[in-house]
Amino acid sequence: MPGLEDLYREIILDHYRSPRNRGQLEPPAVSAEGHNPLCGDEITVWLDVREGRVAEVRFSGSGCSISQSSASMMTSAIKGRPLDEVRAIVARFKQMMTVEEGADGAPEVPLGDLEALKGVVKFPVRIKCATLAWNTLIDALATAG
């Protein structure tokens, strides 16, 4: 569907041009760093978890439009959510980024604008760009508890 692909492209470009939640957080926030050595993308994710919920999330870094848009979209999707929901969103997004979607039994979680990144699967070399922030988030969650 060309119209839907155009809409998805616009969502990705909007997040690239005007990233949400860009910046850093002060302690007690935790952080994790990720990089993709194949293309040079770098991401740092900061999490402030309070009472089992993502109270605040930020990211910084540099890289291609896919990695930066994915990080922006990710922060918007998880901000304010309980950790169990965040983990479900991460699992569902990572499942969407596999060539054989549905293979690992991730929970059915609505992804909203994150669906715009589904087309990345057509370009396997770009999947690491789209999942970099998410993998970094997993590391930050492990530190946050």
What's 52's domain CATH number? 3.90.1010.10
pTM value is: 0.90
First to last CA, the chain: 42
Q: Where are the alpha helices (DSSP H) in 18-123?
A: 65-78, 83-96
Domain range for residue 44? 2-144
Least confident range from 70-79, 91-100, 133-142: namely 91-100
Per residue in 98-124, pLDDT (tens digit) is 865 555 566 678 888 899 999 999 999
Query: What is the tally of structural domains in the chain?
Result: 1
Q: How far is CA 25 from CA 15, 49, 65, 77, 93, in A?
A: 20, 11, 23, 18, 24
Per residue in 36-56, pLDDT (tens digit) is 998 899 999 999 999 999 999
Q: Is the pLDDT confidence value at 125 over 70?
A: yes
DSSP for 113-142, please give it. Answer: GGGGGGGGGGSHHHHHHHHHHHHHHHHHHH
